């Protein structure tokens, strides 16, 4: 257990809005439970909690259009992919690279 610090870079594919692509991220993992905070794609601070199952992270996060939203992220080595959606109905994906700083 301990705090891990990351810097992630992302691309938002299939979406029409302009999104932030640089995400400082702090996380703590205890067994398969993860929680942390990050600067999200909408230029807001998010907090999250979830479970890590194999290479998947599944849980809930804040800082988007609704108070709390579900999230799913698949991570292999330092690369990740996550579903993304916009209120206008567009569905896309966020792909990125996460560099561990500490």
pLDDT digits (tens, 9 = 90+) for 43-100: 999 999 999 999 999 999 999 988 999 999 999 999 999 999 998 889 999 999 999 9
Q: How much is the average pLDDT of 16-37? A: 96
Give the per-residue pLDDT at 2.
86
Q: Which phi and psi angles does 62 have, rounded to 5°?
A: -115, 175
- Which of 18-27, 32-41, 68-77, 85-94 is predicted least confidently? 85-94
- Contact call for residues 87 and 65 (beta carbons, < 8 A): yes
- Contact call for residues 64 and 76 (beta carbons, < 8 A): no
- Contact call for residues 49 and 69 (beta carbons, < 8 A): no
Question: Six-digit token pair at 102?
Answer: 């500490």
Helix-, strand-, coil-residue percentages of the chain, each rounded to 5: 0, 65, 35
Give the per-residue pLDDT at 39.
98
- Contact call for residues 56 and 72 (beta carbons, < 8 A): yes
Give the per-residue pLDDT at 98.
97
Query: Does residue 22 surpass a pLDDT of 90?
Result: yes
Give the per-residue pLDDT at 37.
98
């Amino acid at each position: 257990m301990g705090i891990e610090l990351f810097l992630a870079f992302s691309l938002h594919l299939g979406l029409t809005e302009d999104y932030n692509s640089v995400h400082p991220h702090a996380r703590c993992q205890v067994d398969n439970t993860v929680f942390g905070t990050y600067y999200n794609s909408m230029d807001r601070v998010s907090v999250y909690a979830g479970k890590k199952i194999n290479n998947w992270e599944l849980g809930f996060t804040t800082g988007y259009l609704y108070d709390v939203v579900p999230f799913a992220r698949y991570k292999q080595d330092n690369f990740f992919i996550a579903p993304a959606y916009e209120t206008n109905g567009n569905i896309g994906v966020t792909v990125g690279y996460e560099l561990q700083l500490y």
